[in-house]
Structure 1
Amino acid sequence: MKTTGYLKIFPILLILIFAFNFNVFADTNISVYVDNEKIDFDVNPIIENGRTLIPLRGVFEKLGAKVDWNKNISEAVIKDKSNEIQMLLGKNKVMVNGEIKDIDVPTKMINSRTFAPLRFITENLGHDIKWDDSTNSVYITKKDNVPISQNKILTVGSKENLIALLEYNSKLYNYIWREGRAVLDNSVSMDKSEAETPAPAAGPESDSSDTNNQVEGVQEGDIIKNDGKYIYINASTGLKIIDSNPANPKIVSTVEVLENTSISEIFIVDKKLIIIGQNNMFHIMDDAVESKIMIWPPRQYDDRTNVLIYNVENIEKPKLEKEYLFDGNYLSGRTIEDKLYLVSTKYINYYNYDIYNKDADIPVPYYTDVLTNSKYEFAYDEIKYFPNYIDSRFMYTVGIDLSTEAQPDVDVYLGGSDTIYVSKDSMYAAIADYSYDYTAEQTEVFSPVYTYSTVLYKFKLHDGNIDVESQGRVPGNIINQFSMDEHEGYFRIATTTGEIWQNTSKNNVYVLNSDMQIAGKLEGLAQGERIYSTRFAGDRIYMVTFRQVDPLYVIDTSDPIKPTVMGELKIPGYSTYLHMVDENLILGFGYDTEVNQWGGTVTGGLKLTLFDVTKPDTPKEVYTDVIGKSGTYSDILYNHKALMFSLQKGLMAFPVNVMGDNYKTEFNGAYVYNVKNDGLSFNNKISHMAADYSYRDEVKRIIYINDYLYTFSDNKMQVHSIENNKKISELSIKQ
């Protein structure tokens, strides 16, 4: 009986199976026309839930789009001159020009062919589509595309959208960096070095050096500050406030920070001391979490940026007036008059969250007013993002009016920055971006090609507020903040495109208008080399590129629409930092180089070069000094704040570790030079070292107050006379 029943049921099951397969995969006899031209398919379209799905190729290419299937991350990319659509296989959320949108029928794979929804893609490419029920046909009318808006600011809106944004960008990041198709020259990297125009000379009423600031009137933070009488120094045992009396310097107070906080930078504004530190909050994991086996375990601490604002009218007893905790890592900050502006970034550890669980707990951005114990959280519809951002970070922009009790002006953006440039009125955040290369040859067999570019967010600074204004994009990557500048209403940026190891690298200058659209450009300089340093000064740009020789380019942007090369000088070596002595002299810090027996380039000692650009069409080298041998290093090479420079004082100093033969340290301390409009000369060198080398005795900074030079290491401060180089006093600051 059981066998007979099975035999009766089996034919019915076969009929149902074949019927189901027939409904999904059978010829639907759908015809598709583009501008009345019928499209032939090698695999017929299908209908699912009332939606027409078609093979990726054919129709979209007729619409002027390039189509590719990225098999590494199961993503379809449809791109034309104005639009880009990214669709992950089986996902109901897609990226259209960087914006998350919902679809009711996702892209799917059938018999090894990729099918995508016709109406959704066609309409989002900007074309008209109609269905004729009487003929079972789809008619598409091509329209002229509207360029993607560069100034569109979106909000995340929901947790589901946040998860989708993270997933798209996480998959792309892993594809580019973990699948061996990186498009970035690994020898080029952004750093947080920041400087542009010479710091203003100290006035006679306060004859003391200032931080080597990028823009006049825009103060940058550092590990040391002074107000002409007191010195504020970040020491290993806390922040020390020192009476600078050269004959009898003494510590007048110590500002202690929490044990889990390390000081990043300090600022002095009138009688306000601002300390910005990195604060780590550790979590105790419960037994349930500890016993769970995970490939990528959750982090056990949170990075937070700690901002402490003290009143130092009573220098011996600084009073804490404000304290804030902002989620993430401190990137950079500025003070303009009595306003503080800063940026922090928070990595979102995408793999810590169960993205397939709609109830997964993803922490929202927040900041805390510590003194009032108030926590401010950002809802999903308060988290902003620009289309086509690339990484999974939150970026906090913070404005604080130091003269009032008002709460900070805080905004959160999805997508972080690595480098910022700040003028008196604006802040520019640079973001490394990867974009689908529309010009590259694409086939369904190979994965898409992505290119490297720099996205720029422009913010307006006013009264302690930071308001986003516009977005721009330029090809290539930048080396640091020296790559950017604002001048007479235009924003200028220098980038490197291509790969130095493939000999395809080129160097470029782009000039953007107030809407962050490219108004002028100079492309293709020094093929096969990359930018090592740039300096902007008025209408001129000075650029150093390098591979085996050091070309210094003098570029004129007096006509911002047509930047032109005025002159060029090639010499051995290269400069990683350029400093303006005056309008006709540029000082370069870098390395001496020579070609070895195999045709490669090896570096020698630290090289100082003085360039004369009085005649910009024929720049010349008028002074060189090579310090030490291979391995010699100074922070000035990658951190402009390590340089003390004053043309008014006729003095320059910087820390240096000098190497001799076989990479043996011969000297560690500060080199001091006399500097004038017509040149420079070696003056003195100062060391804190005893007989044996000690890391904590390495000189980190040099300042001057009146006629005395102050050098600082973690352990001590020394005072020397500028007049005769005599050591006047020494103070231990490690206690």
Structure 2
Amino acid sequence: MKYKGKWYVGGIVTFIAVITIVVVSFFSQQVQVYATSAIFENQQFHASFNEVLKEESLTNGTISITDAKGHVVKPKMSIEGKVLIIHDLPKGDYTIHVTEQAFKKRVSTGATVSFSVVDELQTIKSLDDLKTYFQSILNEQQVTMRDGDVLVGVEEESTEMANSSSDKAVSHSETNNQVDGIEEGDVTVTDGKYLYTMTDHTVFITDAKQLKVMSKIELKDVYPSKLLLHKNKLIVLYDQYIESRTKEGYYTGTMMTKMAIYDVTNHQKPKLVREVGQEGHAVGVREYKDVLYIVTNTAPNYWLLREEEEVELRPQLFDSNDSSVTHAALDSIRLFPGSKEANYTIVSAMDLHHYETAEFKAQTFLGAGSGMYMSTEAIYMTAPNYMTFAPTIRATTEIVTPMRSNTELYKFAIDGTTIELTARTTLEGTVLNQFSMDEYNGYFRVATTTGSASGREANSNNHLIIYDEHLNEVGKLTDLARGERIYSVRFMGEKAYIVTFKETDPLFVIDVADPTNPNVLGELKIPGFSNYLHPLDETHLIGIGYDTKVEVDPYSKQPMVYTMGMKVSLFDVTDVANPIEVDNDIIGGRGTYSDVQHDHKALYRDTVNGHYGFPIAIYDQDGYIGSGALVYHITPEGIELAGDLVTKAKNEQYEDWSKMVRRLLYIEDTLYTVANNEITAYNKHTFKKLKSIPLK
């Protein structure tokens, strides 16, 4: 049942976000308020109203708070326009009382909001609890959809885009990982002697020196998504869809993310040692200090509750050691405070030292997790939280638009295979991707965008927020590039670099040395934008993005921005107050693209020789030009094309997917391009082609 802004499931509080609507049929404005039902201790509680609150309401008694016994409590409170913020409440149940006199405009009535402060997550106690949880979500969805009103939140794609903290001189290529020492996996990897690459249903193991395929791993009916190397073990991640049929005849399916571990001591005969898996699509995979971490997100078929009494709602787990598919134990399912998502986030860990027998430890949380960042101390998960008002039930249809969208942030402390959810907070706005997040000296830094950057009424704003280890806000920088949105972020120790864009590309240089007082040091505005930043050294950045042009629309008379060719830029930030673009190169025209635009792992790095490259397909005003790869020599002095590995088009109108280069790697003095259908070797210094072999 629903009571005082909380959902009660089988006698326990399921801490999901609840929309509280107070409606009185009167001539004055109706009060609407959004608030979550629970927060952790040491977290701020936010109640967002549809009307501006008076500052004096904090002291004149028009806003008050009572505890579970009805006693008035007086925590620290503050107001930011329409948002009431409550600080430092101890564990317990509370109710906020807001009278109509607390608002600047005349309203018809006040509002009450109930919430809890908790010190840990609650667990599901029974299958009935789980069923009621999802049934309550179904009920809420039915209310939201009533009378034809539809509230839709569109999440910007959260591309897993990151940066390497250091480039080391080694004898062979390494994955361009986000954090040095934390492996992310890739579509092609090397140990300095062999190339491991995947295409379609097959993983190829190739002797790099001989350029000879030594063996193939055939994966029937599934597609590999990532490869990781750990000593003499090859870890293959893949997705598997399992279709089933319910008692009522409905066809449903389950997506499993599985991990197959192969012993590749004998490269001619790789041996499958073990497979483990968990339900859902992979949010991220990491390997750190011999422990593999996998995070997936899945939604059960809870919609079947409308038709059937018995529906399996627990997520599935798999381990080839006992050849069985099991379901997550009820006492392992915990609840994200503040979330009302009908999703599970599953976080698992396994010790690779003892991969044949080690426990595959999985924890399950009710609540979505769509983005992931991992430091050496913790895993951070983000989930969109679209703060919308439920439609008012009236005889006539009333359209209610979303108020704003925020992001829920969860911190999981890691210690080997032990994973513990230790903190949670709500971020104002949305996070572009995991590259927007960073942990440094115990502080968590994140860049967000609020509002919309599109259309005539663009109201977007950009922020950089810094939190302590408990995810308490300690510093904040706001009002960056109003009307624009973030396109890329790069954290480098005590500096942060943020690129925003609408018509020009402002590159902001931000001092984050003092976590309590981040501030802008300098700004550079140039045409185009960078959607990936990579450090050349401590005072120079490589930017990869697009050139743009602005034309006035003849009908609307509004400026229209068009992306043109790809753009490689070199930024000098030695003078932090006056960053400059030292050099740039424009590649092709409209339609030109590279995987590096959305996948940082596609960047080729040979730091000893100053070479940086990427796969590319080139177009211009005449159409398709060709595809392959480009390698640049980039120094603090400028950018120069070093290797043109593009195969020019003959009669083709479009690029051939099978021939598209996916990765560039090097071993000793040889550079390899890996396409879907072949591997080609070049001299790393002269870029002369040496040999090719097909992958088939």
When normalised by structure 1's length, the TM-score is 0.76
Q: Which moved more, 1:391-400 or 1:141-150?
A: 141-150
Match of 1:684 in 2: 643
User: Does the 8 Å CA contact 1:573/1:590 hold for their aligned counterparts?
Assistant: yes
| SS of residue in 1 equivalent to 2:432 | coil
User: Does the 8 Å CA contact 2:297/2:368 hold for their aligned counterparts?
Assistant: yes
1:528: Cα distance to partner? 0.7
Structure 1 letter corresponding to 2:268: E
Structure 1 letter corresponding to 2:603: L
Structure 1 pair 566–124 and aligned structure 2 pair: CA distance change class (3 A): closer
User: Does the 8 Å CA contact 1:492/1:512 hold for their aligned counterparts?
Assistant: yes
Higher helix share: 1
Aligned-partner Cα distance in 1 for 2:360–2:352:
10
User: Does the 8 Å CA contact 1:197/1:536 hold for their aligned counterparts?
Assistant: no
Match of 2:80 in 1: none
Match of 1:725 in 2: 687
Match of 2:629 in 1: 670
User: Does the 8 Å CA contact 1:656/1:671 hold for their aligned counterparts?
Assistant: yes
Structure 2 letter corresponding to 1:190: E
Structure 2 letter corresponding to 1:263: P
**CA distances 1:378-426 after superposition (whole Å, capped 9, x unpaired):** 2333211111114211111010101112211110111121110011121
User: Does the 8 Å CA contact 1:150/1:470 hold for their aligned counterparts?
Assistant: no
Larger Rg: 1
1:213: Cα distance to partner? 0.6
Match of 2:609 in 1: 649
Aligned-partner Cα distance in 2 for 1:495–1:173:
28
Aligned-partner Cα distance in 2 for 1:378–1:148:
27
Matching of residue 320 in structure 1 with residue 272 in structure 2? yes
Aligned-partner Cα distance in 1 for 2:460–2:303:
35
Aligned-partner Cα distance in 2 for 1:177–1:277:
36
Matching of residue 400 in structure 1 with residue 368 in structure 2? no
Matching of residue 549 in structure 1 with residue 504 in structure 2? yes
Structure 1 pair 142–650 and aligned structure 2 pair: CA distance change class (3 A): closer
Listed as ranges, the matches of 1:308-457 within 5 Å are 308-354=260-306, 359-404=309-354, 405-435=357-387, 450-457=403-410
Match of 2:470 in 1: 515
1:376: Cα distance to partner? 3.5
Match of 1:193 in 2: 160
Aligned-partner Cα distance in 2 for 1:629–1:685:
17
Say which of 476, 480, 484 aligns to 2:433: 480
Aligned-partner Cα distance in 2 for 1:472–1:150:
13
Aligned-partner Cα distance in 2 for 1:415–1:169:
12
Aligned-partner Cα distance in 1 for 2:525–2:32:
45
Matching of residue 216 in structure 1 with residue 168 in structure 2? no
Matching of residue 162 in structure 1 with residue 123 in structure 2? no
1:360: Cα distance to partner? 2.4
Structure 1 pair 78–678 and aligned structure 2 pair: CA distance change class (3 A): same
1:316: Cα distance to partner? 1.7
Q: Which moved more, 1:723-732 or 1:141-150?
A: 141-150
Q: Which moved more, 1:652-661 or 1:466-475?
A: 466-475
Structure 1 pair 375–652 and aligned structure 2 pair: CA distance change class (3 A): same
1:278: Cα distance to partner? 0.4
Matching of residue 240 in structure 1 with residue 204 in structure 2? yes
Match of 1:275 in 2: 236
Match of 1:626 in 2: 586
Q: Which moved more, 1:521-530 or 1:322-331?
A: 322-331
User: Does the 8 Å CA contact 2:545/2:568 hold for their aligned counterparts?
Assistant: yes
User: Does the 8 Å CA contact 1:209/1:704 hold for their aligned counterparts?
Assistant: yes
Matching of residue 525 in structure 1 with residue 480 in structure 2? yes
User: Does the 8 Å CA contact 2:341/2:368 hold for their aligned counterparts?
Assistant: yes
Aligned-partner Cα distance in 1 for 2:608–2:143:
53
| SS of residue in 2 equivalent to 1:166 | helix
1:565: Cα distance to partner? 0.6
Structure 1 pair 70–227 and aligned structure 2 pair: CA distance change class (3 A): farther
**CA distances 1:414-453 after superposition (whole Å, capped 9, x unpaired):** 1121110011121111111133689xxxx99885854311
Structure 1 letter corresponding to 2:317: Y
Match of 1:114 in 2: none
Structure 1 pair 385–249 and aligned structure 2 pair: CA distance change class (3 A): same
Match of 1:503 in 2: 458
Aligned-partner Cα distance in 2 for 1:390–1:576:
32
| SS of residue in 1 equivalent to 2:134 | helix
User: Does the 8 Å CA contact 2:297/2:369 hold for their aligned counterparts?
Assistant: yes
When normalised by structure 2's length, the TM-score is 0.80
1:217: Cα distance to partner? 0.6
Structure 1 pair 142–479 and aligned structure 2 pair: CA distance change class (3 A): closer
Match of 2:22 in 1: 68
Structure 1 pair 127–78 and aligned structure 2 pair: CA distance change class (3 A): farther
Say which of 193, 202, 224 aligns to 1:229: 193
Structure 1 pair 147–595 and aligned structure 2 pair: CA distance change class (3 A): same
Higher strand share: 2
Match of 2:556 in 1: none
User: Does the 8 Å CA contact 2:486/2:499 hold for their aligned counterparts?
Assistant: yes
User: Does the 8 Å CA contact 2:344/2:364 hold for their aligned counterparts?
Assistant: yes
| SS of residue in 2 equivalent to 1:388 | coil
| SS of residue in 2 equivalent to 1:509 | strand
Structure 1 letter corresponding to 2:183: Q
User: Does the 8 Å CA contact 2:262/2:271 hold for their aligned counterparts?
Assistant: yes
1:126: Cα distance to partner? 2.9
User: Does the 8 Å CA contact 1:170/1:391 hold for their aligned counterparts?
Assistant: no
Structure 1 letter corresponding to 2:347: T
Structure 1 pair 78–380 and aligned structure 2 pair: CA distance change class (3 A): farther
1:266: Cα distance to partner? 0.6
Aligned-partner Cα distance in 2 for 1:731–1:226:
17
Aligned-partner Cα distance in 2 for 1:366–1:478:
29
User: Does the 8 Å CA contact 2:39/2:116 hold for their aligned counterparts?
Assistant: no
Aligned-partner Cα distance in 2 for 1:639–1:667:
21
1:170: Cα distance to partner? 5.1
Say which of 237, 245, 263 aligns to 2:224: 263
Structure 1 pair 690–435 and aligned structure 2 pair: CA distance change class (3 A): closer
Structure 1 pair 266–125 and aligned structure 2 pair: CA distance change class (3 A): farther
Structure 2 letter corresponding to 1:719: A
| SS of residue in 1 equivalent to 2:408 | strand
Match of 1:702 in 2: 664
Say which of 461, 465, 469 aligns to 2:414: 461
1:362: Cα distance to partner? 2.5
| SS of residue in 2 equivalent to 1:353 | helix
Aligned-partner Cα distance in 1 for 2:447–2:70:
43
Structure 1 pair 500–684 and aligned structure 2 pair: CA distance change class (3 A): same
User: Does the 8 Å CA contact 1:483/1:535 hold for their aligned counterparts?
Assistant: yes
**CA distances 1:563-592 after superposition (whole Å, capped 9, x unpaired):** 101111111111111111111111111111
Aligned-partner Cα distance in 2 for 1:538–1:375:
44
| SS of residue in 2 equivalent to 1:317 | coil
1:633: Cα distance to partner? 0.8
Structure 2 letter corresponding to 1:478: V
| SS of residue in 2 equivalent to 1:467 | strand
| SS of residue in 2 equivalent to 1:675 | strand
Match of 2:566 in 1: 606
1:668: Cα distance to partner? 0.7
User: Does the 8 Å CA contact 1:183/1:451 hold for their aligned counterparts?
Assistant: no
Structure 1 pair 330–70 and aligned structure 2 pair: CA distance change class (3 A): farther
| SS of residue in 2 equivalent to 1:403 | helix
**CA distances 1:321-363 after superposition (whole Å, capped 9, x unpaired):** 22112111122101113111111111223322237x6x42233
Q: Which moved more, 1:603-612 or 1:159-168?
A: 159-168
Q: How many residues align?
A: 601
User: Does the 8 Å CA contact 1:199/1:210 hold for their aligned counterparts?
Assistant: no
Structure 1 letter corresponding to 2:38: N
**Structure 2, gaps ≥5 residues long:** 5-18, 41-62, 72-94, 99-111, 554-558
Aligned-partner Cα distance in 1 for 2:145–2:537:
43
